[in-house]
Amino acid sequence: MLTRLMMLGPPGAGKGTQAQLLSKKLGIPQISTGDMLRAAKAAGTDLGKEAAGYMSRGELVPDEVVVGIVKERLVEDDTAGGFILDGFPRTLVQAEALAEASVSLDAVLDVVVPEELLVERITGRMSCANCKQVYHRTFNPPEVEGVCDKCGHTEFTTRADDTREVVVSRLEAYRAQTEPLRSYYANQDLLKAVDGVGDVDEVQVRVLSLLEGDG
């Protein structure tokens, strides 16, 4: 089984949802730069204050900021058996910094979803206010309405950057700065395209079969 993984794909493709499931199934940590930056913002740290403006405009946070936090995270003990990078790298500079830090990847999962579906997925997203489990109001609701499946909490939050206006900027940033990583990793024979259309479990079956096929 491949365990040093990266999730690539546009905003709303389902990277975080699939990474959460994989993390549980494989017992390896999900390392989401978006989650780390949102936690820093909520805690009011200098990092969070610096990142907040970029995130609210749907722009990428500067490379040196993000590279620093990922490098620090990757030396923690729980990454020894593997990890799932979710939302990092997303520029060529970040990908090169990862390679220069001698962090090798086994596979890059490129979650492919048409643009019109991305907007629907993002604008319907909600997360448990306690454990951060991600849901969608229509496509992926909790089993019992208003109650988190994972922790039983009854409050949910939405992300400040999940508005139609900000999504346009996030998609532009993805096309201009992140999409070139597809050919970067394809050239290294690491890129594995996953059809991200279908329900969450169907996509997870596709992801696992890609990873097991090479294990």
- Contacting residues toward ligand AP5, per CB under 6 A: 9, 11-17, 33-34, 37, 54-55, 58-61, 66, 87-88, 90, 94, 121-122, 124-125, 134-136, 139-140, 170, 198-200, 203
Of 165, 185, 3, which Cα lies nearest the Cα of 84?
Answer: 3
| Pick 29 or 34: Cβ nearer ligand AP5 | 34
Q: Output the smallest distance, CB 35 to ligand AP5, in A.
A: 7
Q: Look at strands 134-136 and 83-86 and give their pairing.
A: unpaired
| Alpha helices per DSSP H over 27-91 | 33-43, 46-57, 63-74
**Beta-strand runs (E) in the chain:** 4-8, 30-32, 83-86, 107-112, 125-128, 134-136, 156-157, 191-195
| Pick 134 or 208: Cβ nearer ligand AP5 | 134
Q: Output the smallest distance, CB 70 to ligand AP5, in A.
A: 8
| Pick 20 or 215: Cβ nearer ligand AP5 | 20
- List, by residue number, the catalytic residues: 15, 90, 125, 159, 170
Question: What does residue 40 show for φ and ψ, rounded to 5 degrees?
Answer: -65, -40
Q: How far apart are CA 160 and CA 62, in angstroms?
A: 19
Which pairs count as long-range contacts for 59-63, CB under 8 Å and 24+ apart, including other chains? 59/169, 59/173, 60/90, 60/91, 60/173, 60/177, 61/37, 63/91, 63/93, 63/94, 63/97
Q: Output the smallest distance, CB 58 to ligand AP5, in A.
A: 6
| Pick 23 or 33: Cβ nearer ligand AP5 | 33
